[in-house]
């Protein structure tokens, strides 16, 4: 029914009528121009699949969409598309999943597509994901899809998860995602996206935003902290500039954030200490400088705290070493020169890595000459904050347990699966 003719307006009309009037009026729209014309008015038993019988009208409408896309697939090393034959889409087609749509519990609709790891190649997803009226999820990790993300994907009323990770997409950040009202999960890591990440994405009500391993090149947007996401990965791009103080605005929501392997510079804002839900904060391998803010001692839930491979200096605050949930504090490859007894204990227990710094008496430190040169030249990387920023502790009662009464730390090996770190591998989460 409602075969797409040359006129896409007519087709849209058909879709609308189909959805709202259950096709009773569809015949009005019928304007046969295509080769499959001449069957007369549609009925549930003569849908677009010719004489195929589908379990629901909503399945019948997507049959042709799948067949059209099948023709566009240029590589299918696992023979996935061989299963895309006949009317039994819900049970027989690899990668397609049906469910009862939210608007009718007795109907059956195509609700999700999961092509993770199928290595399919196609020049575009246009005319595909945007033509499943009931689609909620599209997951396509590790394929060779390319082209642009269809802009009218935003018209799909139930759509909320888009995973295009590890494909061949390139060009600008996909603008079409801004229109998707209920989008909660956006994963475009491991593609060739370049240019800038529009500030708009940080006001979208997402829960997960993975943009690591692309070629984004820009100063981190100032409104970054307005994002309500729980998991956020900027890693392995070319972001520059300081971590914006607005990060503190994410205090109620941000659980894991990865800035590692970029070109971030400047001092750390004390507002990082406001992230009371954070379990992972990783800004390793950047050009961050200045002292470590004492405010980090407010990160009561932090387990993984990484600033290795930067230009940080001064003392490692004892209050940070007292954090009760810390499993891994990685400060290696910086220019710290002072530690106290609590931090020393953490070094001894393997939680704190301070190799390649400038601390007298610790093994595997930088040479005295290297440390001297750094101290001479460190003013080349000026700190943008006044000195009191370093010692400001913005939480009421920082979690320093009284010495000798420390909670037993979870064992090092007891590392649970962390979603943001899993996103650093190319493959599915
Ligand atoms: C049907 O399609 C033809 C050719 O595309 C067009 O000339 C004609 O106006 C259409 N008829 C209606 C009722 O839309
Ligand atoms: C459709 O019907 C024709 C003639 O009845 C038959 O030859 C053909 O195999 C049918 N096609 C399918 C896909 O069932
Ligand atoms: C719900 O879907 C079923 C199966 O497609 C259909 O028969 C029924 O008319 C629909 N009900 C409503 C209220 O749209
Ligand atoms: C994409 O295609 C290239 C060249 O055919 C191939 O080497 C690569 O493994 C493919 N990637 C995926 C994820 O399938
Ligand atoms: C989006 O556009 C394509 C091609 O113009 C069309 O086939 C499709 O039905 C549209 N999807 C929606 C949800 O409007
Ligand atoms: C952080 O949130 C406050 C209050 O909502 C707002 O006034 C401020 O502009 C936000 N900061 C940034 C940098 O967006
Ligand atoms: C601690 O974190 C650093 C930086 O992420 C990592 O390289 C190291 O392997 C971790 N150590 C342990 C014991 O997990």
Residue-level pLDDT, tens digit, the chain, 429 residues: 333 334 443 334 333 333 333 333 333 333 433 333 333 334 444 445 567 889 999 999 999 999 999 999 999 999 999 999 999 999 999 999 999 999 999 999 999 999 999 999 999 999 999 999 999 999 999 999 999 899 899 999 999 999 999 999 999 999 999 989 999 999 999 999 999 999 999 999 999 999 999 999 999 999 999 999 999 999 999 999 999 999 999 999 999 999 999 999 999 999 999 999 999 999 999 999 999 999 999 999 999 999 999 999 999 999 999 998 999 999 999 999 999 999 999 999 999 999 999 999 999 999 999 999 999 888 777 788 888 888 889 886 545 554 444 455 555 444 567 899 999 999 877
Q: Please give the residue range of the domain that contains residue 13.
A: 1-37
Q: Is 334 a member of any domain? A: yes
Q: Is 372 a member of any domain? A: yes
Candidates 139, 143, 144: which one to mutate for ligand 4, based on the most atoms within 8 Å of Cβ?
Answer: 144
Q: Is 52 a member of any domain? A: no
Indicate which CATH number applies to the domain containing 317. 3.80.10.10
Q: Is 55 a member of any domain? A: no
In angstroms, rounded to a whole number, what is the distance separating the alpha carbons of residues 85 and 67?
Answer: 8
pLDDT score of 411: 53
SS (HEC) of 131-183: HCCCCCEEECCCCEECCCCCHHHHHCCCCCEEECCCCCCEECCCHHHHHCCCC
The pTM assigned to this predicted structure is 0.82
Which residue minimizes the CA distance to atom 9 of ligand 4? 119
Is the distance from the beta carbon of residue 52 to the nearest atom of ligand 2 less than 6 Å?
yes
H-assigned helices in 326-406: 341-349, 368-377, 388-391
pLDDT score of 36: 35
Ligand 5 mean position, distance from CA 358 (Å): 61
User: For the chain, what is the domain count?
Assistant: 2
Is the distance from the beta carbon of residue 6 to the nearest atom of ligand 1 less than 6 Å?
yes
Candidates 45, 49, 50, 92: which one to mutate for ligand 2, based on the most atoms within 8 Å of Cβ?
Answer: 50
Is the distance from the beta carbon of residue 13 to the nearest atom of ligand 2 less than 6 Å?
no
Which residue minimizes the CA distance to atom 4 of ligand 3? 107
Candidates 327, 330, 414: which one to mutate for ligand 7, based on the most atoms within 8 Å of Cβ?
Answer: 330
Ligand 1 mean position, distance from CA 9 (Å): 11
Q: Is 75 a member of any domain? A: no
Q: Is 87 a member of any domain? A: no
Q: Is 261 a member of any domain? A: yes
- Sign for the CA dihedral angle at 374, 376, 382, 388 comes to positive
Q: Is 204 a member of any domain? A: yes
């Amino acid at each position: 029914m409602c075969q797409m003719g040359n006129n896409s307006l007519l087709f849209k009309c058909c879709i609308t009528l189909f959805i709202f009037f259950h096709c009773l009026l569809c015949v009005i729209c019928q304007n046969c121009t295509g080769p499959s014309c001449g069957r007369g008015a549609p009925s549930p038993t003569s849908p677009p699949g010719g004489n195929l019988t589908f379990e629901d009208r909503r399945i019948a409408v997507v049959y042709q969409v799948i067949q059209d896309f099948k023709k566009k697939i240029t590589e299918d090393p696992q023979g996935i598309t061989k299963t895309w034959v006949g009317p039994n889409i819900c049970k027989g087609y690899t990668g397609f999943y049906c469910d009862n749509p939210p608007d009718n519990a007795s109907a059956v609709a195509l609700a999700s597509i999961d092509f993770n790891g199928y290595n399919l190649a196609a020049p575009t997803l246009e005319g595909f994901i945007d033509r499943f009226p009931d689609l909620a999820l599209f997951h396509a990790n590790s394929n060779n899809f390319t082209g642009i993300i269809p802009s009218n994907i935003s018209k799909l009323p139930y759509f909320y998860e888009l995973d295009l990770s590890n494909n061949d997409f390139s060009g600008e950040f996909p603008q079409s995602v801004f229109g998707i009202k209920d989008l909660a999960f956006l994963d475009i890591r491991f593609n060739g996206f370049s240019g800038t990440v529009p500030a708009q994405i940080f006001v979208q009500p997402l829960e997960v935003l993975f943009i690591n391993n692309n070629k984004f090149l820009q100063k981190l947007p100032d409104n970054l902290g307005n994002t309500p996401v729980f998991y956020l990965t900027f890693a392995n791009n070319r972001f520059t500039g300081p971590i914006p103080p607005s990060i503190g605005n994410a205090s109620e929501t941000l659980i894991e954030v990865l800035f590692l392997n970029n070109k971030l510079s400047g001092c750390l804002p004390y507002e990082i200490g406001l992230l009371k839900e954070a379990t992972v904060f990783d800004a390793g391998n950047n050009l961050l400088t200045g002292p470590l803010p004492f405010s980090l001692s407010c990160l009561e839930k932090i387990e993984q705290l990484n600033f290795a491979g930067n230009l940080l200096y001064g003392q490692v605050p004892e209050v940070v070493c007292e954090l009760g949930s810390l499993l891994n504090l990685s400060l290696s490859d910086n220019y710290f020169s002072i530690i106290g007894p609590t931090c020393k204990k953490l070094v001894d227990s393997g939680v704190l890595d301070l190799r390649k710094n400038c601390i007298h008496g610790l093994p595997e430190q930088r040479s005295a000459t290297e440390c001297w040169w750094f101290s001479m030249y460190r003013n080349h990387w000026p700190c943008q904050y006044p000195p009191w920023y370093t010692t400001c502790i913005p939480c009421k009662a920082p979690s320093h347990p009284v010495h000798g009464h420390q909670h037993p730390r979870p064992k090092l090996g007891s590392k649970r699966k962390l979603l943001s770190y899993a996103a650093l591998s190319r493959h599915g989460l």
